[in-house]
Amino acid sequence: MKVRRFGVSLEEDLLNKLDRLAEKHAFPNRSQAIRYLVRDALVEDSWQADSEVAGVIVLIYDHHKRNVVNHLLNIQHDYTSLILSSQHAHLDHDNCLETIVLKGRASKIQELSDRLIAIKGIKHGKLVISGPD
């Protein structure tokens, strides 16, 4: 991939914020921080345009809660075209971690995520979206 140089003019306050962001994320330079911000904005645009995106749903739940596992599986079976893989891990005697890797239309991924996170017994759920490019 060819790299092209260009000039950017920023107000001093905004430049200072960019430098703090670069430091916070341990970017080696401003260029890397700008790349991160541009890519993040492009993913957000893909999300808003209901484009095809990739994502992961992370769920923490108590497997002892009545029917939580059955609900999780039943809902996932309604979205098999989106689900690339899932992984289940036992955190301790009561708590499980499930990750579900997805690819598809942003709106359908959000719909699946909302349904899973809303299940009674889910302690925490998070959807992370990225572009497939």
Contacts of 97 (CB under 8 A, 6+ apart): 58, 59, 60, 88, 89, 90, 91
- Looking at residue 44, its pLDDT comes to 87
The enclosing H or E element of 123 equals strand 122-130
pLDDT at 131 over 80: no
DSSP line for 39-103: HHHHHHHHHHTT-EEEEEEEEEEETTSTTHHHHHHHHHHTTTTTEEEEEEEE-SSSEEEEEEEEE
- Looking at residue 59, its pLDDT comes to 98
3-class SS of residue 127: strand
Q: How sure is the predictor about 133, in pLDDT bands with cuts at 50, 70 and 90?
A: low
Residues 74-129: tens digit of each pLDDT: 999 999 999 999 999 999 999 999 999 999 999 999 999 999 999 999 999 999 99
- Looking at residue 55, its pLDDT comes to 95
- Looking at residue 48, its pLDDT comes to 86
Residues 25-62: tens digit of each pLDDT: 999 999 999 999 999 898 888 888 899 999 999 999 99
Q: How sure is the predictor about 132, in pLDDT bands with cuts at 50, 70 and 90?
A: low
pTM above 0.95, yes or no: no
Counting beta carbons within 10 angstroms of the beta carbon of residue 16, is it exposed (0 to 12), middle (13 to 18) or buried (19 or more)?
exposed
Q: How sure is the predictor about 73, in pLDDT bands with cuts at 50, 70 and 90?
A: very high
